[in-house]
Amino acid sequence: MIEPLPELHAVCLDLVQLFGRCAPLQVDLGCGDGSFLCDLARQFPEKNFLGIERLTKRVEKVRRKAAMIDNLRVLGTDTLFAVQYLLPESSVETFYLLFPDPWPKRRHEQRRIFTSDFLDAIATALEQNGILRVATDQLDYFRYLERLSLAHSRFNPVDFHDAVLPSTKFERQFCKQGAPIYRLTLRKTSPVK
């Protein structure tokens, strides 16, 4: 007879302990080489920044870049796991999901991070009126993101063209190639009762 495994419980991050202070938190999901995240953390020293990246070599690269930036931490883990289980409820001011893999082949669509479950987890972790910013160079993926977002009861699209944000490595590459960048900004709304 096979014994059942004990139930595992993830413990939410203690953000005050992690950063050594209480400040608004912004999270870069899949922070890549960290250039965007480091620039953003330098631009807004009054805020805390957390990069989440599952690839170990990228995590180490970002940690080296961020060594002298006091308001930035990097977590090496799966993005959805971190959002669902590690980030406390209503703890995040802004999430960034910049140039996620679109998995364009139909047989790979189930690998996309942007799903209803993902939006549910983001809504739980976001503070009231919190923001999710998404960017992609793929028009089909952008239309998919829009469709899913408009169908979700906890988000409304908003215009945020006034925000001056650093560019990512991918964004610079795509712009150099003349590819258009599609952006979606969503605000968490109160649940309808």
- CA separation for the pair 63, 157 (Å, rounded): 33
- CA separation for the pair 185, 95 (Å, rounded): 10
Contact between residue 76 and residue 54 where contact means Cβ atoms under 8 Å apart = yes
Tokens 């703890």 found at: 91
Decide if 140 is catalytic.
Answer: no
39, 70, 78, 101: the active-site residue: 101
Contact between residue 16 and residue 39 where contact means Cβ atoms under 8 Å apart = no
- CA separation for the pair 142, 135 (Å, rounded): 8
Extended beta strands in the chain, E state: 25-29, 48-53, 72-76, 92-98, 126-136, 155-157, 182-188
Centroid of chain to Cα 131: 10
Q: For 52, phi and psi rounded to 5 degrees?
A: -120, 125
* HSE-CB for 102 with a 13 A CA cutoff: 16
Instruction: List active site positions.
Output: 101
